[in-house]
Structure 1
């Protein structure tokens, strides 16, 4: 398994994060990283990190990091097409859960796009369960921490 680390976005890595791409056919499942970074700029609740695996920049993660409104919600997770299938996404979710747990928060939530290629099975395999909630027309899953 790759050694996975999360690092803050900086002037040195932000363009490379924006250049990362999901695999063909996955574009409808997650917003481009540049859009996510723009949204984070106007939402102080956004906690963003670049993802490195074995020292190589391979992804991006964004958390709604606030007890207000949405609560602690995994807002975006993307792993570059060149790095998929190596367990990196699983490790990123574990690191985000550690961050949330360290704040004394008992639940991490995520919303998922329904349909072909949905990441719902991935999140369920990590222990997330459907809550019955819907946000932005997406079902919400939760992980007890």
Structure 2
């Protein structure tokens, strides 16, 4: 499922802010509005965010710490997948994998050797999703108790033949 990452502008802002996760998923990822407020409150984390489009329609949102100087435990990096949201109407279609694939390709081109992320360790959370993609726990928790995970780069995602 191909995706395109686009900057959030005045022309698409409302549609992107309307993206929502499914019922009960709010405890695992903040809304787009909340994520943008978090980005504004933490400029030192070098937030890089984009709307995710498929077939010309916004289907998700992604935010990273982009080539940041790590300052554990507050700032992880240099490449940290900070937010990944797929709208509830578009879940189960492969967009999550496509977004991670796209992000991994982007940061690999910038010289990244790993991509970090974290998840809330509760039932119904994204742990299995990240594990299926090849992320492995680092053995560390962030200050909020989220499990930190690492994906080695370059990466061959599930369903993509090695180059």
Fold match, TM over 0.5?
yes
Q: Give the whole-Å Cα distance in 2 for the aligned partners of 1:41 and 1:14.
A: 16
Q: Give the whole-Å Cα distance in 2 for the aligned partners of 1:97 and 1:105.
A: 9
Counterpart secondary structure, 2:20: coil
Q: Give the whole-Å Cα distance in 2 for the aligned partners of 1:4 and 1:21.
A: 18
Does 2:87 match 1:86?
A: no
CA displacement at 1:67 relative to structure 2: 3.4
Pairwise CA RMSD: 1.1
Q: Give the whole-Å Cα distance in 2 for the aligned partners of 1:137 and 1:104.
A: 29
Gaps of 5+ in 1: none
Deviations 1:15-53 (A, max 9, x none): 211111111111111011101011222333000000011
* Corresponding position of 2:11: 12
Q: Give the whole-Å Cα distance in 1 for the aligned partners of 2:41 and 2:23.
A: 29
Q: How does 1:21-100 map to 2 (within 5 A)?
A: 21-44=20-43, 45-69=46-70, 70-71=76-77, 72-100=79-107
Stretch of structure 1 that moved more, 105-114 or 39-48:
39-48
Q: Give the whole-Å Cα distance in 1 for the aligned partners of 2:18 and 2:140.
A: 33
* Corresponding position of 1:140: 148
Counterpart secondary structure, 1:37: helix
Counterpart secondary structure, 1:137: coil
CA displacement at 1:98 relative to structure 2: 1.1
Q: Give the whole-Å Cα distance in 2 for the aligned partners of 1:79 and 1:55.
A: 15
Q: How does 1:95-110 map to 2 (within 5 A)?
A: 95-110=102-117
CA displacement at 1:3 relative to structure 2: 2.4
Q: Give the whole-Å Cα distance in 2 for the aligned partners of 1:67 and 1:104.
A: 13
